[in-house]
Structure 1
């Protein structure tokens, strides 16, 4: 291991944000009282509910090793303090299982990607956060300090995320294709999967991320049914935020996730504020705090 990558305590800090489709890691060291960013890396999904614990940890390590590579430093996982916010860690049992899985790190701390994003967005202060990416979840940190939530049940149970929009687009397109209706949705589906039988074969073993890639059809196709889906989507978002504002007492509202800009372009939210931090930055701060227990 190259000595130039170490801080005074000889430990690297690694913050990780792992959504439904990919994991991002940032590698840093503490030097002169400041955190110095060394490199960043990415890998595939680290959602244990989708890929299993072993593969989730393999993707986590791949992202961390990629960050070391970007920094020009030989990987040294045993010198890493890692904090990860990952999709698929919906319960306390999920977190315990993830942290308890055999790993090479000096310390590993985990939480859901949603709670990480909530803490980052409002810098720990009360607020309601709607996260719309592959999935959909609304979280709030109340004035009483408690955590409140809606949705986040996972695909296909939840509505409001890219996977749900993609599935609805597929259903519309499939009906058009089967009914010999020459619509833009049918044309796109035929170009992708050729026939209803092709769709039936394609769905085997597909994840939420696979369905989410069809969500763009809803935004791109000029079709009354697509416009209706978008109105329904906006209504879901408005309801989730309104319910949590009342329940939590929080006044600030935020939106995060891969479909953030599309939603904000359609919906005016009372109390909306811009994010204070990004989840990856928050994860790195929390990784740095682990040094107090190790050094």
Structure 2
């Protein structure tokens, strides 16, 4: 291919949006980061996060003459497994040269398995799993918080906060986790905390998850129970994915490393490290749609 083409892969989730810029002549040359990009939650801000992350990737590559209009984009977004959300994103008047849309789970699977068949579990703000091959895709979970996403950061933080509020009411035992949560909110008043979280996003609950893991690892009974419940759900999800006999299974996401020691031992032994991160998978996805080969020059 004589002319240079630019492809941006976008990994849009409930906590952040990451973009990676790829050149057909130079390889991977830039990255960008922006805020939450789940269009099922807040459509306009999600689209703005996508634009901000993509522009940041171009700026990072120091390409003053390249604009968004010069770039193809592969979007892997949370929430677009819902048809109504996918339709809304496809109707969005984007500024790119071309646009290809799939789920954040699909690009995670492509990245984790080096653009080959395999399976992946995301445990970040939410949780879900996918087995992907040329013949089929099997999606498990991805129902969204609060109805699903067991074991994800939002679910962990939500359960911990509910426990803390019950303890403030005197109907649950106060444990060492509670003072940490109260310090996080700089408040000892349950009503104030409930008001603060009245319009909270999943990412706001997920910010509490490190507190819960710290407490569980220190032996706090309430925190331990929450983490064990979440880990049991992730183990069950992994077991169902493995029943489809994928060539390999990886786990990614901001919560994945901390929850892995709590998984069933046989499941933990089945997990292999991801080869690439989801933003690489988003580039792979776009390249596949464009029928362009993937070159690894400049890979970082």
1:141 Cα offset (Å): 2.5
2:255 counterpart of 1:255:
no
SS in 2 for 1:49: coil
1:62 Cα offset (Å): 0.8
TM-score, normalised to structure 1, is 0.86
1:17 Cα offset (Å): 1.1
Write the distance in 2 (CA, Å) between the matches of 1:37 and 1:149.
Answer: 29
**2:130 alignment partner, one of 119, 139, 144:** 139
2:78 counterpart of 1:84:
no
> Which residue of structure 2 aligns with residue 4 of structure 1?
none
> Which residue of structure 1 aligns with residue 285 of structure 2?
286
Verify the 8 A CA contact 1:26 1:64 in the aligned structure 2.
Answer: yes
1:59 Cα offset (Å): 1.3
**2:196 alignment partner, one of 202, 208, 217:** 202
> Which residue of structure 2 aligns with residue 276 of structure 1?
275
TM-score, normalised to structure 2, is 0.85
1:61 Cα offset (Å): 0.9
Write the distance in 2 (CA, Å) between the matches of 1:94 and 1:216.
Answer: 30
> Which residue of structure 1 aligns with residue 239 of structure 2?
242
Verify the 8 A CA contact 1:22 1:45 in the aligned structure 2.
Answer: yes
Verify the 8 A CA contact 1:40 1:66 in the aligned structure 2.
Answer: yes
SS in 2 for 1:255: strand
Write the distance in 1 (CA, Å) between the matches of 2:162 and 2:104.
Answer: 29
SS in 1 for 2:151: coil
Write the distance in 2 (CA, Å) between the matches of 1:281 and 1:206.
Answer: 30
Q: Which runs of 5+ in 2 are unaligned?
A: 293-300
> Which residue of structure 1 aligns with residue 180 of structure 2?
188
Write the distance in 2 (CA, Å) between the matches of 1:29 and 1:254.
Answer: 27
Write the distance in 1 (CA, Å) between the matches of 2:273 and 2:141.
Answer: 22
Verify the 8 A CA contact 1:19 1:47 in the aligned structure 2.
Answer: yes
Post-superposition CA distance 1:35-70 (Å, at most 9, x none):
433321111111111111x32221111111111222
Write the distance in 1 (CA, Å) between the matches of 2:192 and 2:52.
Answer: 34
> Which residue of structure 2 aligns with residue 58 of structure 1?
48
CA RMSD across the alignment: 2.3
> Which residue of structure 1 aligns with residue 99 of structure 2?
108
Verify the 8 A CA contact 2:181 2:208 in the aligned structure 1.
Answer: no
2:17 counterpart of 1:20:
no
Write the distance in 2 (CA, Å) between the matches of 1:125 and 1:77.
Answer: 29
Q: 1:183 to 1:276 in 2, by over 3 A?
A: closer
Q: 1:197 to 1:76 in 2, by over 3 A?
A: same
**1:47 alignment partner, one of 13, 38, 52:** 38
Write the distance in 2 (CA, Å) between the matches of 1:265 and 1:228.
Answer: 14
> Which residue of structure 1 aligns with residue 23 of structure 2?
29
1:272 Cα offset (Å): 2.4
2:232 counterpart of 1:264:
no
**Number of equivalenced pairs:** 281
